[in-house]
A = this chain, B = another copy of it.
Amino acid sequence: MNNPETPSAVSPPDANTLSLTDRYWRAANYLSVGQIYLLDNPLLREPLKPEHIKPRLLGHWGTTPGLNFIYVHLNRIIRARDLNLIYICGPGHGGPGMVANTWLEGSYSEIYPDIGNDAEGMRKLFRQFSFPGGIPSHAAPETPGSINEGGELGYGLVHAYGAVFDNPDLIAACVIGDGEAETGPLAASWHSTKFINPARDGAVLPILHLNGYKIANPTLLARTSDEDLEQLFRGYGYLPLFVEGDDPAIMHQDMAIACDKAFDHIHNIQRQAREQTAQTGVPQWPLIILRSPKGWTGPKEVDGKMTENFWRSHQVPVAECREDDGHRHILEQWLRSYRPEELFDDSGCLKDELRRLAPEGERRMGANPHANGGLLRKPLRLPPIADYAVKICRRGEVQAQSTAVLAAYLRDIFTLNEEQAHFRLFGPDETASNRLSRVFEATSRVTMQEIRSYDEQLSHSGRVMEVLSEHLCQGWLEGYLLTGRHGLFTCYEAFIHIVDSMFNQHAKWLKVSRKLAWRQPISSLNYLLSSHVWRQDHNGYSHQDPGFVDLVANKKADVVRIYLPPDANTLLWVGDHCLNTYDRINVIIAGKQPEPQWLTMEEAIAHCEAGMGIWPWAGNEHDSEHGPDVVMACAGDVPTMETLAAVELLRQHLPELTVRVVNVVDIMALQSSDQHPHGYQNAEFDQLFTTDRPVIFAWHGYPALIHRLTYKRRNHANLHVHGFMEEGTTTTPFDMTVLNQVDRYHLALAALHHVTELRGNAKADQLARLLEQKLEQHYHHVREFGDDLPEVRDWTWQAINQKTAG
């Protein structure tokens, strides 16, 4: 777009406002220091004694005065313009600042009435910080106004953008520390403006806070000249506004001006976009670059060593306050430098003239409902899955691409919720590759960059977010969910490991926030992993890794679910189910290639609701008077197909062998019921897997996961898991299974081997030789012709009972 006029000169607020602003900032700083240090004597009504000091001093002072400075200036601008604004605190280590400010504005005590807005409340506020049974040292779910777990750095900005998509009235002010700015995910996040449509989305105001130092080192951007920073951020597409210095009086004035300019500019961009019918180009959004001293207003020196404006103020700048009179004196001077008597009245309440500086009600950043997104969450309208069901006449005969079937269902979610505008699909340029292109019948990819005449499925108003960064996909989706919306992240299975650590942090967020009554449930984070390990034969070994679920299974049972639907109808049920859940992380692994379909919709529903079960039509127990000789278990589309092909061979060549087929969709059902809410009771489990028969388990991932989930089960010693053994390359799909012994021949051989009753059985030996010959034929053929044997490639299930009930 043609950019609106760059910000013109604005006048600073009057001196009285600036003076009040400074006092409010001092109050926040005072409360921050108090949290780090004080057990008692919160208002310093008496000289500081050792017993007033906490025995273990924890917390991060360095970043905090800057965070407080920004908070008070945002308060001013919210009031002045009646803004709907949330504060994303990238340097979440500065937890004391967020807590201090929400206490000052009153939102803290509303959520936690035990921590009142008076001297006793202040005492408790100080005491609980980083104290056993109290609150964590970082911005966290417990922190009002936060949607960002502030422990692991790098995700503040991407969360901010996720928060404002489809929230046209919302502005996310996002503070980015200069440490955080060195991370890869943050460096990529700056490009997010290329996806922000000012007509329908809100705005992000990034505030890059250069306080100079990390734990023990200067930061890269703080030691970069203003000229280079200006070029860098103009190159990223921003309009940088600099605020630099250490004199509070001047800094307050400069920051107020910069904020006014920035919000004028945001307003102009949005007004211009919203008055036009179409937008072109990426607007140049404002960015504030704030250079202020690390540990600003803290001790200049401790023990003769430079502290303020240096990395030594990163955590607790003066450490021996309980034991060392000199240190305690420094602390007392420091606290008194904020002149608490000018800030708080006799009862410990913030003075009235300061209290009036904070916004009111939901305009307070600690009370903004967007930062407790469940409050705003509206249900997603979902179409009936039966409408998309694949018709099954003869089992295994019809072929379908599971994800392509789901795509039609997803397409209609876009249509049904067009008005609500609260659903998006995220992926690293893989929507088409994962066979989800049918969503483009209802929407398109979004970009604000140039769109050319020959571009396809690309517009300024699309709801599919594609960027070649799993970090951005994950972070945008997290921000979108945390502010009360819905979404799905589709990704190649191997590369979801790129966001392992983001997954961890989101799981931690959910675990904690579920226990906070005031935090309303948010929609689940749903992963659809396709292009999975067994069908990355074309891309090769680097693209073959099924280990993400191992990480997922480590998390708290009430937070995580893992589903491997074996066909399209089961995928429909699973997809629909996951989109209906909240406060969870659902991992769905599904195929995208044409593959045999097994269950009618009715059967799929029953099977998925049970989580796992016997497929009676696949086995031959009905021919037998006793139970099965062997259980052939499977989970995942390719292992299921190979298991059925193995069973077919067994039934054809050795019909006297009684075979049971068990398919597992919901992996957590394997765990004991005392370990996971979806876990089967032991008796139920034994009914499926028996207590003494060999179980040949064909599993999608690394075998160890099945062992760890089932090791408490009675029949565990008879469980023989075939799965990915880290053998991969560029080859054919069937060869991938052979390399890892998850193919039909190895599975059937395993059954013959483990059924001890078959030892010495001539027919069984004959079958074993046949299977070994088949493997030889395969090895020969695939290396000679570069393709799988037709009998494998074109295999369909031919065993008896293939007709469905319907």
Which residues of A line the B interface, CB within 8 A? 39, 54-56, 58, 127, 130-138, 140, 149-154, 179-180, 182-191, 194, 214-220, 223-224, 228-237, 306, 310, 429-433, 445, 447, 449-450, 452, 454-455, 458, 466-469, 471-472, 494-495, 497-498, 500-501, 504-505, 508, 511-512, 538-543, 545, 547, 550-551, 553-556, 702, 704-705, 707-708, 711, 716, 726, 729-732, 735, 782-783, 785-787
Contact = CB atoms under 8 A, between A and B. Distances in A.
A320 to B, nearest CB: 15
Contact of A132 (B132, B237, B455, B732): B732
Give the copy number.
2
The 7 closest A-B pairs by CB, nearest first: A151-B542, A232-B235, A184-B184, A231-B235, A187-B187, A497-B501, A223-B449
A498 B705 CA distance: 22
B501 A429 contact: no
A704 B433 contact: no
A240 to B, nearest CB: 10
Contact of A429 (B217, B445, B730): B217
A542 B508 contact: yes
Contacts of A216: 429, 431-433
**Consensus secondary structure, chain A interface:** loop
B449 A220 contact: yes
A217 B445 contact: yes
A760 to B, nearest CB: 26
A262 B187 CA distance: 26
Contacts of A433: 215-216
A680 to B, nearest CB: 18
Given A224-B449, A505-B542, 5 more contacts: A133-B783, A152-B495, A216-B433, A217-B458, A232-B234
B151 A543 contact: yes
Contact of A466 (B217, B500, B729): B217
19 contacts: A55-B786, A133-B731, A137-B539, A138-B539, A138-B542, A140-B541, A149-B542, A152-B543, A180-B468, A194-B220, A216-B433, A217-B445, A224-B449, A228-B237, A231-B235, A500-B551, A505-B542, A556-B726, A705-B708
B541 A508 contact: yes
Nearest to A559: B726
B56 A540 contact: no
A58 B236 CA distance: 36
Contacts of A467: 182, 220
A19 B229 CA distance: 43
Contact of A730 (B39, B58, B501, B711): B58
A153 B468 contact: yes
B551 A494 contact: no
Contacts of A458: 217-218
Contact of A504 (B55, B153, B547): B547
Contacts of A705: 708
Given A138-B542, A188-B187, A556-B726, A55 B508 contact: no
Contact of A234 (B219, B235, B551): B235
A541 B512 contact: yes
Nearest to A782: B132
Contacts of A430: 215
Nearest to A781: B132
A447 B306 CA distance: 21
Contacts of A429: 179, 214-217
A131 B540 contact: no
A189 to B, nearest CB: 8
A430 B730 CA distance: 40
Contacts of A466: 217
A363 to B, nearest CB: 29
A543 B136 CA distance: 11
B501 A140 contact: no
Which among A132, A783, A787 has the highest number of chain B CB atoms within 10 Å? Answer: A132
Contact of A787 (B55, B445, B452, B783): B55
Contact of A538 (B58, B231, B471): B58
Contacts of A501: 495, 497-498, 500
Nearest to A495: B152
Contacts of A232: 231-232, 234-236
